Each structure stands twice: as C-alpha cells, then as structure tokens.
Amino acid sequence: MPRKLNVKRLDRLLFLYLWKINDIVTDITNKADRCHRLLNDPELQAAFANVRDAIHQAFESCSVDDGETLVRLRQRLHLLDSVWANLEIAVEDGKLEAHRIEEKGKVSYLGDLWQKS
C-alpha cells in the first residue's frame, strides 16, 4: 500500500533546503567581495609581482641542463597564476550570483515551484 505523502513535512524540508541555498548564495557573494578587495589590494598586487619576478629571475639563471629545477619553477609560476585566476573567478561568480538574485528575487523559489505544478 503506497504511503501517503506528508505535505507539511515536504514543505518544511523544501523550506530548509531553500534556506540552505540562500546561505550558500550569501557565502558566494561574501567570498566575491573579499576576493575583490584582495585583487585590488596594492600590497597583494606587489607581492604577486615580486614573486613572479623572483621566479623569472631564477628561471633565467638556471642551467639548461637542470631540467628538474626548470620544471619546478614553471609549476610554481603556474600555481601563482592559478591562485590569481581563482580569485578572479570567485569575483565573477559573485557578480553572476548577484545578478541572478536580482533577476529572480530571494523568495521567488517557492512561487516558481508552485506555478510549475
């Protein structure tokens, strides 16, 4: 015999799920704000430039025969670029999320779900 659905329980679970989504969205936008401040921080920009210059100098002074060191230096340069790119991606994710919230509204999830029924 099929079990009868408990609508109130489903509504409560749906509400909790949507609440969690709202927390995730807030986390995304907060992270984007923090990353934006980091990317615009002159001291961090200078630190990245100094590290990049040091890697380039080490690369230029390294012997051509020392392939292992050359590979490690290239990996470090790639990691430095990846860190900066991850900060930029977090900022873009925050912009997209803010735009999505602006378009849909924070509470429209339930309205959209019930209208589709």
- 47 found inside a domain: yes
Span 11-37, average pLDDT = 70
Query: What is the pLDDT confidence band of residue 92, given thresholds at 50, 70 and 90?
Result: very high
Is 108 part of any domain?
no
* This model's pTM is above 0.75: no
| Residue 109 within any structural domain of the chain | no
Which residue's entry shows tokens 């991850």? 86
7 in a structural domain: no
- Total count of domains within the chain: 1
Give the per-residue pLDDT at 21: 55
Report yes or no on 25 lying in a domain.
yes
Residue 103, domain member (yes or no): no
Task: Transcribe 12-81 into DSSP letters.
Answer: HHHHHHHHHHHHHHHHHHHHHHHHHHHHT-HHHHHHHHHHHHHHHHHHHHS-TT-HHHHHHHHHHHHHHH
Classify burial at 34, counting beta carbons within 10 Å of its beta carbon; exposed 0-12, middle 13-18, buried 19 or more.
middle
Q: Are 91 and 35 in contact (CB under 8 A)?
A: yes
| 9 in a structural domain | no
Residue 13 in this model has a pLDDT that exceeds 80: no
Compute the mean pLDDT over every residue in the chain, rounded to the nearest whole number: 77
pLDDT tens digits, residue range 57-68?
A: 988 998 889 888
Domain containing 58 equals 14-92
Residue 101 has pLDDT above 90, yes or no: no
Q: Does the residue 81 lie in any domain?
A: yes
> In whole angstroms, what is the distance from residue 18 CA to residue 110 CA?
9
